[in-house]
Structure 1
C-alpha cells in the first residue's frame, strides 16, 4: 500500500494514496457532523468530503463553523 503525507490540524499524518477527506477524518474518529473542514484553505462541504481526494502534502483543517447574522 502506498502512503501519502498530509497534515491534519497541523499534525503530520500518513494516509493511503487515494484516500478521501472523509476517509482521513474517519481514521482519526472525528465526529464529522460537528465541524467544518478545509483542504489547503479551501472549504469542503460535509456532503463533498467523500469525493475530495487527498494528495501528497495537503493540509487538512477542521474547525467549528460560525453562523450568525
Structure 2
C-alpha cells in the first residue's frame, strides 16, 4: 500500500504501525510516531492499522547542545 512517511511516498506491505516501523528499518529504535497528525504512543502501535494514503511521521530524539 502507498503511504507517506516523513513527507516521502513509500510502498509498504505492513498493515500496522509497528510492522511498518520494522519494515522501514526502525526496528526497536526509540522514536515518536504520528499517523495523520495524531500522536501514537508506542504501546498503541501494534493496534494502529494503516490505510492507503495515511501520513506517518517518525521522529527520532536528538541530543546535543
Matched, 1:9 2:16: no
In structure 1, stretches of 5+ residues that fail to align are none
Q: Runs ≥4 in structure 1, deviation > 4 angstroms?
A: none
How far did residue 31 of structure 1 move?
4.4
Corresponding residue pairs, total: 61
TM, length-normalised to structure 1: 0.76
Please, which runs of 5 or more residues in structure 2 have no aligned partner? Answer: none
| RMSD between aligned residues | 1.7
The alignment's TM-score, normalised by the length of structure 2, stands at: 0.80
Match of 1:20 in 2: 16
Per-residue CA distance 1:4-60 (angstroms, 9 max, x = gap) = 2101111111123x7100111100111444211000100001011010000111000
1:50 aligns with 2:39: no
